Amino acid sequence: MAKKRRSTRRLFKGIIILILTAVIISVFVYTPFFTLREIKLIGATYLTKDDIIKIGNVYYGEPLFQLETDDITKRLINDLRIEEVTVKRDLPNTLEVTLKERKPVATIACDYGYLDLDRNGTVIDSYKNLKSMPIPVIAGAVAKDLYIGDTVTDEMVQKILFFLQQLNETSLNKISEIAITGPDYVVAYTNMSRAVQIRIGKLERLEEKARLTEDFLQDLELNPHRVEYVDFNYTAPFIKLAQ
């Protein structure tokens, strides 16, 4: 009889522990204190918190412990704009997303809007209206029948992308447009307070011209004289001052 009573007490204690555990878990999972209220985005330059919500299929107000971070990570990494990503909960109400972007190098017009291209010419984003982004627009060329994941094969565009990827990020962000003005001839324009024309010219010696462009853009901020254009077609760069 004594053994039976002890067994009954152990069973009763076990049930109580299970009930208490379930209550504690329910409190953590469903209490408003542990619901998603903030997304901490680390390492992003072009992607926004709204992009993460859309791509990751998450919503503010969801119970934080019900969010499957592995599933969110898989959805995010499937986006071509994202190269690497880590997702974790940050109690009590934050989802922390650390990522490395597949950075766009240029934007080009297409038959239904605009495309962002990475350094290889792969389309990593598309949209109808031109966005305000710190990367140059390629003018004088239109990409047709291309969608996210496709690659631009136009030889001139590929050469322009090669030139742009030689620039450091600071210099790249100072160029608003790179225009194809003739066969194998391009001109870039700065987006600085004093818009200046950079005559890159023929698409040759591109690594050298990229280095010259970086030096010119750096010196331009310190130059007290107003520059009309710089021409890199010559052995030595020719700078034309504004009248």
Q: Which amino acid is at 216?
A: F
The DSSP output letter for 41 is E
Residues 97 and 73 in one domain: yes
Q: Is 95 helix (H, G, I), strand (E, B) or coil?
A: strand
Residues 56 and 145 in one domain: no
Residues 208 and 145 in one domain: yes
Residues 47 and 76 in one domain: yes
Q: Output the pLDDT for position 39.
A: 94
Please name which of 176, 171, 178 lies closest in space to residue 157, comparing C-alpha atoms. 178
CATH code of the domain in which 76 resides: 3.10.20.310
Q: Is 140 helix (H, G, I), strand (E, B) or coil?
A: strand
Q: Output the pLDDT for position 72.
A: 95
Residues 118 and 235 in one domain: yes
Cis preceding linkage at 32, omega within 30: no
Q: How many residues does the chain have?
A: 243
CATH code of the domain in which 110 resides: 3.40.50.10960
Count of domains observed in the chain: 2
Sheet-wide strand order for 227-231: 123-127, 113-117, 106-110, 137-143, 175-182, 185-190, 197-202, 227-231, 238-241
The tens digit of pLDDT for each residue in 30-43 reads 556 678 999 999 99
Vertex 214, ends 160 and 43: CA angle to 5°? 80
Residues 139 and 56 in one domain: no
Q: Output the pLDDT for position 79.
A: 92
Q: What is the largest CA-CA distance in the chain?
A: 110
The DSSP output letter for 33 is G
pTM above 0.85, yes or no: no
Is 6 part of a structural domain of the chain?
Answer: no
Backbone dihedral angles phi then psi of residue 124, each to the nearest 5 degrees: -110, -5
Residues 143 and 234 in one domain: yes
Q: Pick from 81, 101, 121: which residue ends a domain? A: 101
Residue 184: pLDDT band (50, 70, 90) is confident
Residues 119 and 231 in one domain: yes
Q: Pick from 53, 85, 101: which residue ends a domain? A: 101
The tens digit of pLDDT for each residue in 4-20 reads 555 666 666 667 666 66
Is 15 part of a structural domain of the chain?
Answer: no
The tens digit of pLDDT for each residue in 190-237 reads 987 778 999 999 999 999 999 999 999 998 878 778 889 999 988 888
Range of the domain at 74: 32-101
Is 20 part of a structural domain of the chain?
Answer: no
Provide CB contacts within 8 A for 38, sequence distance 6+.
Answer: 93, 94, 95
Number of C-beta neighbours around residue 215 at 10 A: 12
In the structure encoding, which two tokens stand for residue 230, read together? 């710089």
For residue 25, pLDDT beyond 60: no
